[in-house]
Structure 1
């Protein structure tokens, strides 16, 4: 199994600002405030967190094909 990546590049859908962020491993991140335009991002329908919706790398549980925040991997 490949090593879990903890960094993901989030892209704001409103202003396209990009920021490299470290993903939590013990909880889902449901909200993220864009440092560029201050829009508050939340997951798209069917996604468990902002990293799965707007990041270049899905969250650690999804990478490991494990349940994440009550959703199957």
Structure 2
């Protein structure tokens, strides 16, 4: 079983403030208030949550899909998609 990354750095599209947050493992976060400018962030169209739209790491449910790892730099060395 692959390790799910739970820390993601959210970047506010309004003020560019960055905040490291822990993602919930069992739910998508639809709303997030920027601690700097207080604007309410919502997912971009087609994304399931604010982490998928504004985070440095996609949410746990997306990470759990094998194709996510195959399309990111998570693979190391000579690993292939079927190796994970």
TM-score range, shorter-chain basis?
0.7 to 0.9
**Counterpart in 1 of 2:54?**
54
User: Secondary structure of 2:51's match?
Assistant: helix
**Counterpart in 2 of 1:10?**
10
Pairs aligned (count): 66
Higher normalized helix content (fraction of residues)? 2
Give ranges in structure 1 of 5+ residues lacking alignment.
67-73
The CA RMSD over aligned residues, in Å, is 1.2
Give ranges in structure 2 of 5+ residues lacking alignment.
67-84
Normalization by structure 1: what TM-score?
0.86
Matched, 1:24 2:18: no
Report the Cα offset of residue 40 of structure 1.
0.2
Normalization by structure 2: what TM-score?
0.75
Q: Which has the larger radius of gyration?
A: 2
Structure 1 runs, 4 residues or longer, greater than 3 Å off: none
